[in-house]
Amino acid sequence: MTLGEKIRFARKSSGLSQEQLAEKLCVSRSAIAKWETDKGIPDIENLKILSRLLNISLDTLLDDSADPGSTVIREPYHLSAYGRGCEKVKKDRMMRQRFPEGDIFPLLARPELPNEAGTLDSTLGFLTPAPFGGPEFLKSVRDMEKDFYLVDQGLDQYFVTVTNATLEIRPLPQKLTEKTFRLGTWRFIRCDHLTDP
């Protein structure tokens, strides 16, 4: 993934248009467009500001070896800021606000035993098989307070993991179209779109 692709991904994941990002950086929209198409490179000061604005580390932005599945945007948030209701309702509200133009699909998830998993999709690099009964498998069972979403936004698709305090957004290198799919040691089932609250 090039620097321009990472800037574009982080900007879109942050819900900003090129114009909005340009305004925050005090540069022209065409400068943002040049950076995102690798026809120009932001200076170091703009890179630092981009890193803070888009919540992506400078290391991630500048690492040429990073592939699309290894780029992760982590954002803290306050669940209490999303009104009343159970945690899942609040997380759904947060996802609607975070991706107003996206088609958001909640995912049902369950960890699988490694011998159930068969061929695993390792292109994302964030879920790896662990031996049955091993610490990683047990940790995955404990981490069931996470909620998972698949977001289609234009030509891009994101896998989003949401806890009560953070969300992690990962671009998918290719679109997942199946209703049921596996990533690492997890099986996911795509549910219907989020409905309006």
CA gap 188, 193 in Å, rounded: 15
pLDDT of residue 114: 55
**Using the 8-state DSSP alphabet, how is residue 80 labeled?**
G
Q: Residue 40's CB: how many other CB atoms inside 10 A?
A: 13
Q: Which helix (H) or strand (E) holds 43?
A: none
**Which residue shows structure tokens 């919540």?**
55
The tens digit of pLDDT for each residue in 44-94 reads 899 989 888 887 778 777 776 555 445 677 888 888 898 898 888 899 999
Q: Which residues of the chain have pLDDT under 50?
A: 68-69, 116-143
Q: Residue 180's CB: how many other CB atoms inside 10 A?
A: 9
The domains found in the chain, sorted by start residue, are: 3-66 (1.10.260.40), 75-190 (no CATH)
Give which of 169, 145, 187, 192 is closest to 68, Cα–Cα.
169
Helix (H, G, I), strand (E, B) or coil at 103: strand
